[in-house]
Amino acid sequence: MGFEEFRRRFAQDETLYPRRILAEADSNISIDARYGPPKSCSVGKWWETRQQCSDDGVHKPMMAGISGCKGGAFSIVVSGGYEDGKDNGETFIYIGTGRKWNSSFGGHGPQVEDQSMEHSHNKALKSQETGRYVRVVRGPNPASPWAPLYGYRYDGLYTITEAWEDKGISGHTVCKFRFVRNPGQPPLTHRSLKQTK
């Protein structure tokens, strides 16, 4: 028996290679724990700090709002840092990264140059091509009734249904991504804008 025949027989042994894993390998979808629902927590989990969210593995970067690779985004943090973003809870428009004046990391400032879909973080937001779900963490944003006033909350899995470039409020090009929440998840937390917590 030649090597190729041996390899084929070996690969057909479902005790070693379950069909699900083989199907995913055949469709070039890697098995990566950073995609999909986190094992460490459920929808609605709240953290006081971004470090705690990172420690739980839901969104690892401490500063970047987008976590991903060439295969797509793992997670994002929505915190109202860009003036062109719009949060409607079950859907929202997320603004990509880049070209924002910022005197300190995580601060809010105006757009000073055009963004580009070629930026590596913006390239990662291609869920509409890959079909992969993106974890969404909402950070503090007093302007949105869907966001906590402080801390960070895991709000479940969303799919990017549309991506485009547009002129922003500042007059510069921004990358926009439409996120739609996947059905069958626990309801989102909504607060009155008058609430203090």
pLDDT, tens digit (0-9, with 9 covering 90-100), for 16-48: 434 443 344 444 444 577 888 898 899 999 999
pLDDT tens across 101-129, in order? 553 444 556 677 888 888 888 888 877 78
Mean of per-residue pLDDT scores for the chain: 79
Which residue, among 99, 97, 95, has the nearest Cα to 85 in the 3D structure? 95
pLDDT of res. 129:
82
92: CB partners within 8 A, 6+ apart: 78, 85, 86, 146, 178, 179
- What secondary structure does DSSP assign to 135-180, as a single string? EEEE---TT-TTS-SSSEEEEEEEEEEEEEEEE-TTSSEEEEEEEE
Domains of the chain: 1-31 (no CATH), 40-181 (2.30.280.10)
User: What number is the average pLDDT over the span 186-191?
Assistant: 90
Q: With 0-12 CB in 10 A as exposed, 13-18 as middle and 19+ as buried, what is 159?
A: middle
Q: Considering the entire predicted model, what is its pTM?
A: 0.77
